[in-house]
């Protein structure tokens, strides 16, 4: 039943985000597709804003449980949703102005002569009148795949911030949720990472602008040399050493949260009761599964469009199981390193580094606990 639920959830994410990604790519070629995309994003932004308003009203009403903490959580979550809705509206302004500029320029460029024929207007006054709109429409923020990616970034960040607020104010809820999920299974890993891969491929234009090989190239996958493999190995060692320091800092600065996060991580990635072979297989599952999905989407598809800092912020907020801890800073730094590795080598290198780091973490935890 849990596997079926995970499959359905993965399919819903793929249909929603993947469908929007294809529509955004088609919007580069087709004005109607771009208009449809903008209308849908405005509608969804309205829903987010309305949801934020409803949450705020619930927080201000007497229907909230008598805990002051619940009211604070409702109001803070409402503020995040309202800001996300407003940001979604704002992202649609530039594309709308671009479309309006195109329409106005088209109307100005085609005028009827006395004989009824259509000629092109070439007067300097006409060109000067629409020059500002023309310059504005050439901004990167008016490219459909990019402003859709930014819109999705805002919505995901809002959802993750709300999760962190819940973790901060009612941590037992998050812990019980992860505890109920149990240890990661092969099906859970596949169904959680498959949407990342599909969205990444569709988001860069597979089947619309690019063939399969071109898509792999755009995502940064390609061969690497032995020297580059050595760089990947050094990266894994450095990341593991940095993680030891981050955990020591975490345990000293936030001891209660450290214990809670430790229980969550043990429930998800613990190897208690595993033999050596089972541990190796589980380490490969966690390493390859998570790395393939996350690196394909974040370093492969998003980083060239959004840059390393924005991509790293989004990737750090993906790991809400660590709560509002210093580990999020470490994850952000790790993402910066992976981003530089992507730029200097390719996504194949970041995939191997990510997979090697995850697998090594599981194996080290097993051997040190024996």
Q: What is the pLDDT of residues 107-118, one digit of tens each?
A: 555 544 444 444
Tell me the average pLDDT across 340-369.
93
In the chain, the percentage of residues whose pLDDT exceeds 70 is 84
Give the model's confidence band at 58: pLDDT under 50 very low, under 70 low, under 90 confident, else very high: confident
Q: What is the pLDDT averaged over residues 118-134? A: 42
Residue 360 pLDDT exceeds 80: yes
38 band by pLDDT with thresholds 50, 70 and 90: very high
Return the pLDDT at 199: 92
Highest mean pLDDT (candidates 142-151, 180-189, 349-358): 349-358
**321, 265 Cβ separation under 8 angstroms:** yes
Which pLDDT score is estimated for 23? Answer: 93
Domain boundaries, the chain: 1-15+188-370
Give the 3-state secondary structure of residue 190: helix
Q: What is the pLDDT of residue 241?
A: 96
Share of the chain above pLDDT 90, in %: 51
pLDDT at 122 (0 to 100): 42
Q: How confident is the model at residue 129 (pLDDT cuts 50, 70, 90)?
A: very low
Give 370's pLDDT tier (boundaries 50, 70, 90): low
Question: 268 or 287, which is more confident?
Answer: 287
- The confidence band for 64, taking pLDDT boundaries of 50, 70 and 90, is low
> Given this model, what pLDDT does residue 332 score?
95
Q: How far is CA 204 from the centre of its chain?
A: 14
Read off the pTM.
0.84
Q: Which of 88-102, 112-126, 240-254 has the highest mean pLDDT?
A: 240-254
Q: What is the pLDDT of residue 45?
A: 96
Please, what is the average pLDDT of the chain? 84
Query: Of 67-71, 153-157, 320-324, 346-350, where does mean pLDDT reach its minimum?
Result: 67-71
- pLDDT of 302 higher than 90: yes
Q: From CA 82, how far away is CA 53, in angstroms rounded?
A: 7
In whole angstroms, what is the distance from residue 50 CA to residue 84 CA? 11
pLDDT, position 182: 65
For 41-64, what is the mean pLDDT?
Answer: 88
Mean pLDDT throughout 61-74?
67
DSSP 10-53: HHHHIIIIIHHHHHHHHHTT-HHHHHHHHHHHHHHHHHHHHHHH
Using pLDDT thresholds of 50, 70 and 90, give the confidence band for residue 135: very low
Whether the per-residue pLDDT at 154 is higher than 70: the answer is: yes
Long-range contacts of 160-168 (CB under 8 A, 24+ apart): 160/317, 160/318, 160/320, 161/80, 161/317, 162/77, 162/80, 162/81, 163/320, 164/317, 164/320, 164/323, 164/324, 165/73, 165/76, 165/77, 165/80, 166/73, 166/77, 167/320, 167/323, 167/324, 168/323, 168/324
Q: Could you report the per-residue pLDDT of 211-266, keeping only the tens digit for each?
A: 999 999 999 999 999 999 999 999 999 999 999 999 999 999 999 888 888 888 88
């Amino acid at each position: 039943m849990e596997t079926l639920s995970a499959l359905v959830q993965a399919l819903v994410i793929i249909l929603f985000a993947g469908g929007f990604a294809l529509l955004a790519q088609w919007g580069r070629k087709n004005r109607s597709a771009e208009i449809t995309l903008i209308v849908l994003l405005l509608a969804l932004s309205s829903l987010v804003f309305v949801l934020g308003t409803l949450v705020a009203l619930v927080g201000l009403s007497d229907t909230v449980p008598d805990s002051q903490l619940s009211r604070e959580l409702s109001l803070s979550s409402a503020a995040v949703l309202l800001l996300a809705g407003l940001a979604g509206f704002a992202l649609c302004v530039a594309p709308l102005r671009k479309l309006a500029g195109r329409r106005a320029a088209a109307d100005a460029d085609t005028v009827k002569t006395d004989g009824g024929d259509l000629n092109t207007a070439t007067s300097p006054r006409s060109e000067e009148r629409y020059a500002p709109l023309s310059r504005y429409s050439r901004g990167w923020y008016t490219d459909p795949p990019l402003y859709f990616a930014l819109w999705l970034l805002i919505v995901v960040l809002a959802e993750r911030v709300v999760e962190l607020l819940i973790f901060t104010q009612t941590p037992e809820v998050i812990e019980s949720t992860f505890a109920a999920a149990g240890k990661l299974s092969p099906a859970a890993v596949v169904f959680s990472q498959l949407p990342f891969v599909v969205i990444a491929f569709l988001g860069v234009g597979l089947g619309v602008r690019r063939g399969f090989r071109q898509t792999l190239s755009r995502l940064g996958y390609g061969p690497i040399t032995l020297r580059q493999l050595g760089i990947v190995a050094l990266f894994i060692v450095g990341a593991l050493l940095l993680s030891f320091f981050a955990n020591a800092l975490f345990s000293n600065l936030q001891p209660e949260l450290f214990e809670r996060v430790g229980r969550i991580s043990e429930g998800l990635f613990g190897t208690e009761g595993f033999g050596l072979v089972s541990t190796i297989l589980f380490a490969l599952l966690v390493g390859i599964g998570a790395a393939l999905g996350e690196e394909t989407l974040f370093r492969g598809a998003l980083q060239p469009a959004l840059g390393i800092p924005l991509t790293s912020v989004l990737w750090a907020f993906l790991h809400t199981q660590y709560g509002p801890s210093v580990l999020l800073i470490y994850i952000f730094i790790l993402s910066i390193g992976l981003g530089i590795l992507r730029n200097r080598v390719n996504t194949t290198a970041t995939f191997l580094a990510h997979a090697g780091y995850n697998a090594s973490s599981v194996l080290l935890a097993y051997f040190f606990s024996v």
